[in-house]
Homo-oligomer: A and B are copies of this chain.
Amino acid sequence: MTGKLAVVGLGPGDARYLTPEAAAALASAEALYGYAPYLQRVPVRQNQIRHASDNREEGQRAGAALAHAATGVNVAVVSGGDPGVFAMAAAVCEQIESGPDAWRALDLAIVPGVTAVLAVAASVGAPVGHDFCALSLSDNLKPWELVERRLDAAAGAGFVIALYNPVSRARPWQLGAAFARLRRHLPGPTPVVFGRAVGRPDERVTVTILEAADTIAADMATLVIVGSCATRVIARPGRPPLVYTPRSAQSVHP
Contact = CB atoms under 8 A, between A and B. Distances in A.
A60 to B, nearest CB: 14
A180 B113 CA distance: 32
B17 A18 contact: no
Contacts of A87: 129
Contact of A159 (B133, B142, B235, B237): B133
B247 A121 contact: no
Interface string A219-234: 0000000000000101
B133 A133 contact: yes
A130 interface: yes
A112 B121 contact: yes
Interface stretch (A29-37, A145-153, A169-177): A145-153
Interface stretch (A65-73, A90-98, A201-209, A210-218): A90-98
A52 interface: no
A152 to B, nearest CB: 8
A94 B11 contact: no
Contacts of A244: 89-90, 93-94, 97
Contacts of A150: 131, 157-159
Most buried by B among A84, A91, A153, A236: A84
Q: Which 3 A-B pairs have the closest CB atoms?
A: A90-B129, A133-B133, A153-B157
Interface of A: 9, 11, 15-21, 24, 58, 82-87, 89-94, 96-97, 101, 104-105, 108, 110-115, 118-119, 121-123, 125-136, 141-143, 146, 149-150, 152-154, 156-159, 232, 234-239, 242, 244-252
